Structure formats: structure tokens, C-alpha cells
Amino acid sequence: MMNDLDVGAWGQQVEEIVGQCDCTAAASADLLLKVHEILGTGPARICFPIRPDISRGSLEALLEADAFESAALRLVSNCGYMLSRGGDGLFIASVVIPAAGRDYSFSGPSAEVALCGALAVSLQECLAVE
């Protein structure tokens, strides 16, 4: 179990992911690896039900093949999610995780950025209610 200091540091990492998703020049591979890491190290009550069934090695293999969208979909595979593309070319993702109790949305220039952003915002909101 994480202590309060660990939860604070983890929350800071989640906040950095949200900031990276807000940046139009987000590096997809780095972003996806960070999301995989936070899902594996976060508080069990938040992250355990949604931890993806993909190993870091398998994730890296997808990234080496430039399969960024597939990698992002694997990261949210245990969440409820919806992904669409707006008329302006932006992708819009909504993600719901059990600990949040509702969905959170995020838009971005790619499917993987939108999915990672929505997931990170969901995680942020879970920490805010603690």
C-alpha cells in the first residue's frame, strides 16, 4: 500500500501526463509508457480494477511497430471508454473507471493522446475526492 507521500508523488505524475496530453507535440511512445507505469504503481483501490493485461515488453513491441492507437486501446481495455473524431479532426475520448463513478472526456490530436488524457483526468479526479 502507498503512504501519503507516495500517493502525492503518484498524483504529480498523473498531473504531468495531463499536461503532456495538453501539449500538441506530445510524444506518443513516451506518453503511453508513462501511462502504463502509473497504472502499475498507483493506489490499488483506483488502479487494480483497471490495470491493463499488457506487459511492458508487449507494449514496447507495439510502440516499435508504430501501433500507438492499438497500444492506447490496450491500456484502457479494462475501462469503459468511447473514442470518436470530431469534425475539426480532433479525437475525443471518454473514459470511466470504477473508482471515479462517472466518465471524463479529453480531446487531442490523436486517438492515443485523447485516450491517455481522458484516463489521466479520471485518475486525477479519483485522487481529488480522497
Cell readout for 71 is 497500444
Structural class in CATH, domain 4-128: alpha beta
Cell of 107: 480531446
Checking 7-10 for CB contacts under 8 A at 24+ apart, the result is: 7/43, 7/127, 7/130, 10/38, 10/41, 10/42, 10/43
Residue ranges in the chain whose pLDDT is less than 50 = 1, 3-5
Closest alpha carbon to 93 in 35, 21, 3, 9: 21
User: What is the pLDDT at residue 27?
Assistant: 73
Cα dist. 120→22, 34, 64, 107 in Å?
Answer: 11, 11, 23, 12
pLDDT at 6: 79
| Cα–Cα distance for residue pair 78/21, rounded to 1 Å | 21
Residue 130: predicted pLDDT: 60
Q: Are 94 and 81 in contact (CB under 8 A)?
A: yes
Backbone angles phi, psi at 73, to 5 degrees: -65, -35
